[in-house]
Amino acid sequence: MKWVTRQNVHVDRTACPWLIKKFVDPKAEYFFVPVEKMEETVKKEKAIPYDTHGAELGHHGDKCSFDAIVEKFIIKDPAVLELANIVRAADTNKMEAAPEAAGLEAIMTGFGITSKDDYETINKASPVYEALYTNCKLKLIRENYKKEIEKMDMKQRREFLKKKLEE
């Protein structure tokens, strides 16, 4: 699959490639183009537009493009849904909705400023989203096994959490 979005990626446009490669198409290709080249690139490359004006996989109401991709491809992973809250909060400037949002926005701003191009930015961003995804999984595990975890010492807790992450 080929995907196209606006150049100068930020939060949503760095999160979507991670999501697509991990849950939709590991061999996805991306194009980052000026707004005025979107329509031309969609036609020429037969690419799926995202996070751009009028795109099905764009902002709708309070939801961002990450949400649209989750919904379109029926991604039901609870950790992805938790991560969607963070991405949405950071991308729509509703930092109070997720404690991680301000940090994510700051990191993506830094990557965008220091990278030579959008490809480098999404490459730098991918491990950040992978780490946030793992943290979301851990948060859910901690909630589901709260009573058991409370009885463990630090070493036991760490081993338990690692084991649960691998399941």
Q: Per-10-residue mean pLDDT for the chain, 167 residues long?
A: 96 98 97 96 97 94 97 98 98 96 98 98 98 98 96 97 95
In terms of residues, how long is the chain? 167
The per-residue b/e assignment along 60-92, b for 16 or more CB within 10 angstroms, e otherwise, is: eeebbbbbbbbeeeebeeebbebbbbbbbbbbb
pLDDT at 75: 98
Q: Which amino acid is at 102?
A: A
| Token pair recorded at residue 97 | 């909705």
As beta bridge partners, residue 57 has: 50
Mean pLDDT of the chain: 97
DSSP state of 33: E
- What gap in Å lies between CA 90 and CA 3, rounded to an integer? 22
Task: In whole angstroms, give the CA distance from residue 136 to residue 131.
Answer: 9
The reported pLDDT for the residue numbered 11 is 97
> Which residues partner with 33 through β-bridges?
6
**Quick one: pLDDT at residue 122?**
97
3-state class of 75 per DSSP? coil
- In this predicted structure, what is the pLDDT of residue 97? 96
Predicted local confidence at residue 132, as pLDDT: 98
